[in-house]
Amino acid sequence: MTRFLVRRGIAFALTLWVVVSVSFFLMRAVKGGPFDGERELPPAIEAALRAQYHLDWPLWKQYLQYLGPLNLDAHRASWLGGDGANVLGGLACGDFGPSLRYRDLSVSEILGASLPISLALGCLALSWSVLAGIALGCASALRRGTRVDAAVRALATLGIAVPNFVLAGALVLVFAFAWPLLPPAGNGELRHLVLPSLALGAPVAAYVARLSRAGLLDALAQDWVRTARAKGLSERAIVVRHALRAGLMPVVAYLGPAAAGILTGSLVIERIFAIPGTGSHFVNGALNRDYTLAMGVTVVYTALVFGLNALVDLAQAALDPRIASREDA
C-alpha cells in the first residue's frame, strides 16, 4: 500500500511537470496576447502592463518564475537587490499567480469559487449515473432476453448516442417550459443542479448499464457460480454476494475515465445551464490568453484526473486481491 502510494506520488509529480511545461510553452507559442482587443492599447500602456505581469521577461525566466519555488521578481528576491520578502513563490508553493483577464482576482480565488460548483455537478452526475446504470444493467442481465432487457439496451444505446447538449436542450424544453417544474438555468440550490446533472450523467449511466450487464452475465456463467448453485445458495445470495462483486469490476475500472470525462465535458453543460463552474474558465482562459488562469485550470484538472485514477486502482485492489498482489509485486 505504502509502496503503491509512493510510486503514484512520484509518477504524479512527473506527469504534472510534463503537463505544465508542455502547456506553458504551447500556450505562449499561440498568437495574440492577453491585452489585445479590437480597440488597441497605447504602446506605452501595453508595455507597462506586460512589465507588471513579467510578460516582458525572456520565456525561460517566466517559466522558472511560474514553476517556482524561487521567486525571481527583482523587487522581492534579496539576492537580486529586492527587500527579501517573499523569496518563495510559483506553482511549487501553490501560487497560481494573478489572472491576466480578471484583474480583480487571483487564479486561486477564481478556482476556489468555481471548482466546488463543478465538483458538485460532477459528483451528482456521477452518483446518479452509477447507481442507475448498475441497477438497469443488473435488471437487464437477470431478465436476459425479455422486454426489460430490450428496453434497457435500447435506452443505453440512445444514452451513448445522443450528445449531452442535445439532451440538455430537450430537458430544458420539457421540464422548464412545457412542464415548468425546474428552472431553465441558474445556480445555488439543488433544483438548479437536477437538469444539468441529468444531462451530464446520461451517457455515463448508459455506459455503466452496458458494462454491468455484460459483467454480470459473464460472472453468472462462471464455474464458481455453478458450484454455489449446487451448494444450494439462494439466487439472491449468489448474485448480490458473489456475482455482482466480480461482475462490476469493469464498471469500477471505467469510473476513472468516466469521472475525467464528466469533469472536462462539463463545460458545455455549464454554459447551457449558466453554472459558474471551472469548465468555462478552461475554455475562456485559453481564448482570452489568460495564461495563468488556463495554466491553473490545467494543473487542477491534471491533479483531479490523476487522483481519481489512483482511487479507482485502490478500489479495484480492494475488490480483487489478485490486483493488489500484482500492484505490490
Partner 1 sequence: MLGFPLALLGLGLAFGLRGARPRAQLAFNNGTEVPSLDPALASGLPEGRVLRCLYEGLLVKDPRTLEPRPGMAERWSVSADRRTYTFELREGARWSNGAPVTAGDFAASWRRLLDPRTGAAYGKELWRVVGAREWSTTLDAQGAPRLPFDTVAIRARGERVLEVELAAPWSSFLDLVSLPALLPVHVPTLEALRAAHPDDWQRRWLRPHALVTNGPFRVLEHRVNERLRLARNDAYWDAPNVALATLDVWALDNLGTALNLYEAGELDLLTDVPATLVARLLERPDFAPAPVLGTYFYRFNTRRPPLDDARVRRALALVVPRAEIARNVAGAGEVPAWSFVPPGIHGYAGARLADAGAESARALLAAAGYGPGGRALPTLELSYNTQGRHRELAEVAAESWRRELGVKVVLAGRETKTFIDSQRNGEYDVSRSSWFGDWPDAANFLEIFASASENNRTGWASAEYDALLAAAASAEGAARAAVLARAEALLLEEAPLAPVYFYVSRNLVRPGLRGFESNVLDEHPPKFWSWSR
Q: How far apart are the first and last CA of the chain?
A: 11
Q: Is 119 among the residues that bind partner 1 (CB under 8 A)?
A: yes
What is the nearest approach in angstroms of partner 1 to the Cβ of residue 170?
A: 13
Question: Which parts of 70-109 interact with partner 1 (CB under 8 A)?
Answer: 85-86, 98, 101-106, 109
Smallest CA-to-CA distance from 252 within 318, 326, 154 is with 318
User: Which one among 1, 48, 166, 237 touches partner 1, defined by CB under 8 A?
Assistant: 48
291 neighbors 34 (Cβ within 8 angstroms): yes
DSSP assignment of 138-155: HHHHHTTTSHHHHHHHHH
What is the nearest approach in angstroms of partner 1 to the Cβ of residue 60?
A: 23
> Using alpha carbons only, how large is the chain's radius of gyration in Å?
25
Smallest CA-to-CA distance from 217 within 322, 323, 151, 145 is with 145
155 neighbors 139 (Cβ within 8 angstroms): no
Q: Is 55 among the residues that bind partner 1 (CB under 8 A)?
A: no
What is the nearest approach in angstroms of partner 1 to the Cβ of residue 48?
A: 4
Q: Is 121 among the residues that bind partner 1 (CB under 8 A)?
A: yes
What is the nearest approach in angstroms of partner 1 to the Cβ of residue 150?
A: 26
C-alpha cell at 261: 470525462
CB atoms within 10 A of CB 24: 20
Nearer to partner 1, 138 or 145 (CB): 138
Nearer to partner 1, 70 or 119 (CB): 119
Q: In residues, how long is the chain? A: 329
What DSSP designation does 174 have? I
Q: Is 183 among the residues that bind partner 1 (CB under 8 A)?
A: yes
Q: How far apart are CA 3 and CA 9, in angstroms?
A: 10
What is the nearest approach in angstroms of partner 1 to the Cβ of residue 306?
A: 18
What is the nearest approach in angstroms of partner 1 to the Cβ of residue 137?
A: 13
Q: Is 245 among the residues that bind partner 1 (CB under 8 A)?
A: yes
User: Which one among 16, 70, 113, 214 touches partner 1, defined by CB under 8 A?
Assistant: 113
Nearer to partner 1, 83 or 223 (CB): 83
Q: Which residues pair with 106 in a beta bridge?
A: 98
User: Which one among 23, 62, 65, 114 touches partner 1, defined by CB under 8 A?
Assistant: 114
Question: Which parts of 251-290 interact with partner 1 (CB under 8 A)?
Answer: 271-274, 276, 280-281, 287-289
Nearer to partner 1, 19 or 312 (CB): 312
What DSSP designation does 102 have? S
What is the nearest approach in angstroms of partner 1 to the Cβ of residue 14?
A: 28
290 neighbors 284 (Cβ within 8 angstroms): yes
Determine the size of the site formed for partner 1 (CB under 8 A). Answer: 74
